Chain A
């Protein structure tokens, strides 16, 4: 055994050969480490790109907004934009942390992939989420027929982002503010206001309720622009269209009536007449002529359509009118019926648009 060791020591290994073997070992260790490194790197780059896109998207949206609403710039919602920036910066910090810590260690590949996957999903989902947010609340277009009674009830709906805690406080017309009658806001764990009339994926549709006497109403009607004012002072242009057709009430034909809505935006209205009358046209306010269509009417179990005008009805007969409301982001509170030489046979129709995501998109486009 000792002999062998001596022999081994006697063998002279050339210096160059020794160095080459050392190089070989070095290269081998390098190659061994290589496959461990590239996956997290690629993932980090992907996350970084996604974050860049996210930030660019935020900046882009702000610019579009500024161009589009330069007149309303001062009223822009500045509250939530810093939050987006904080999130983006947080994102970058996390990526830096991962790339620093994990890439150097390189051992915990699966963990890095997991973190990257979660981050990409979060950023992607946030982008979709932010795309669906409103810059500021939008008032639902409304057509309201004003009555001659002492108090007019005004119900206006507006759409807010789900985490927008502001509510409508005033109606502003001609530099006069009219208070909202009552306001109930409930914060209960998840913020869910009591005045929500429809609950969408990203937005709530909420109610503002005003009561105005006839004189105030006239002032409101005379003013060119009407705003709903939020509790933080932001003004929302309110596309409310008022009509006031006093001749309808004055020439109303005596009747008993009731209406009932049906699916797919159909409404059936029943009149029982208390006098004989002749009608020669379908009556809707001029602004709604293309939004509300006459479908048919029934008299003595017979169906008639628009080509059957004029027609006569005798006292005590039942007349059934079916109307079709076109799908539009529009709330309606107005009189609809028949007109003729003897007067008007109308009933007040209330209709609130049922908002689908498509309809929300439409409102948004119209508002932009």
Chain B
């Protein structure tokens, strides 16, 4: 039952990555880079248990380049663009992981709710990204408000996905345990 074990590991590291994403640190200089390294490291670790091809590592490279550009060139316009684009790329990564989660659920015949969770995640994250495209043309108070609200919404959907992934991991783990027990 190596496959189940690998799936458990994959889910575990994905959960770790989501956990590191809970706090939106883009407001502080350099702190966001540390966060990115932690999150992408966990993603990579998680992906090492997945055999099929995904474009996730390409997305991560794009996001990392944008984050570095934002750190080294300080221009307001670049900040707004990278904020939106990085968040968009992060959403794409989560969507790819959603596909992986779906395949795991299907393999274990779980009447899972991952499609529902992902639908909500995508809708809310997309709304946040859209609202952040307006950041450059609003007053300071609105900027802070939009950033804060967006970060709050992202936190909420991340927590929801995190809980779902934990539940899925538990399920897969229990099932694999039962199977190994029966085999003995």
Taking the nearest CB of chain B, how far is it from the CB of A142, in angstroms? 26
Query: Quick one: which of B27, B28, B73, B81 contacts A126, CB cutoff 8 A?
Result: B81
Residues of the B chain whose Cβ atoms lie less than 8 Å from the Cβ of A121: 130, 133-134
Interface digits, B129-163 against A, CB 8 Å rule (1 contact, 0 not)?
11001101111100000000000000000000000
By beta carbon, the residue of chain B nearest A110 is B122
Q: Give A147-203 interface residues, CB cut-off 8 Å to B.
A: 162-163, 165, 189, 191, 199, 201
Cross-chain contact A83 with B73 (CB below 8 angstroms): yes
Taking the nearest CB of chain A, how far is it from the CB of B96, in angstroms? 11
Cross-chain contact A201 with B78 (CB below 8 angstroms): no
Taking the nearest CB of chain A, how far is it from the CB of B1, in angstroms? 33
Query: Quick one: which of B77, B129, B138, B140 contacts A118, CB cutoff 8 A?
Result: B129
**Given A115-B88, A128-B137, CB of A83 within 8 Å of CB of B130:** no
User: A80 within 8 Å of B by Cβ?
Assistant: yes
| A201 and B88 alpha carbons, distance in the complex (Å) | 26
Cross-chain contact B130 with A117 (CB below 8 angstroms): yes
| A162 and B133 alpha carbons, distance in the complex (Å) | 18
Q: Give A112-152 interface residues, CB cut-off 8 Å to B.
A: 114-115, 117-118, 121-122, 125-126, 128-130
Q: Give B63-97 interface residues, CB cut-off 8 Å to A.
A: 73-78, 80-81, 84-85, 88, 92, 95
Q: Give A22-47 interface residues, CB cut-off 8 Å to B.
A: none
Taking the nearest CB of chain A, how far is it from the CB of B87, in angstroms? 9
Cross-chain contact A126 with B136 (CB below 8 angstroms): yes
User: B51 within 8 Å of A by Cβ?
Assistant: no
Residues of the A chain whose Cβ atoms lie less than 8 Å from the Cβ of B80: 122, 125-126, 129
Cross-chain contact A83 with B75 (CB below 8 angstroms): yes
By beta carbon, the residue of chain A nearest B141 is A199
| A328 and B59 alpha carbons, distance in the complex (Å) | 51
User: B184 within 8 Å of A by Cβ?
Assistant: no
Number of interface residues of A (CB under 8 A): 23
User: B22 within 8 Å of A by Cβ?
Assistant: no
User: B126 within 8 Å of A by Cβ?
Assistant: yes
User: B107 within 8 Å of A by Cβ?
Assistant: no
Q: Give A68-92 interface residues, CB cut-off 8 Å to B.
A: 80, 83-84, 87
Query: Quick one: which of B73, B85, B130, B136 contacts A129, CB cutoff 8 A?
Result: B136
| A162 and B75 alpha carbons, distance in the complex (Å) | 10
**Given A83-B75, A83-B77, A126-B77, CB of A201 within 8 Å of CB of B28:** no
Taking the nearest CB of chain A, how far is it from the CB of B47, in angstroms? 20
Cross-chain contact B78 with A87 (CB below 8 angstroms): yes
User: B116 within 8 Å of A by Cβ?
Assistant: no
Cross-chain contact A122 with B140 (CB below 8 angstroms): no
Cross-chain contact B129 with A125 (CB below 8 angstroms): no
**Could you pull out 9 A-B pairs where Cβ atoms are within 8 angstroms?**
A80-B75, A87-B81, A118-B84, A118-B130, A118-B133, A121-B134, A122-B133, A125-B133, A129-B77
Extra pairs beyond A83-B75, A125-B80, A125-B133 (14, CB < 8 Å): A80-B75, A111-B92, A111-B95, A118-B84, A118-B129, A118-B133, A121-B133, A121-B134, A122-B85, A125-B136, A130-B77, A163-B76, A189-B28, A189-B29
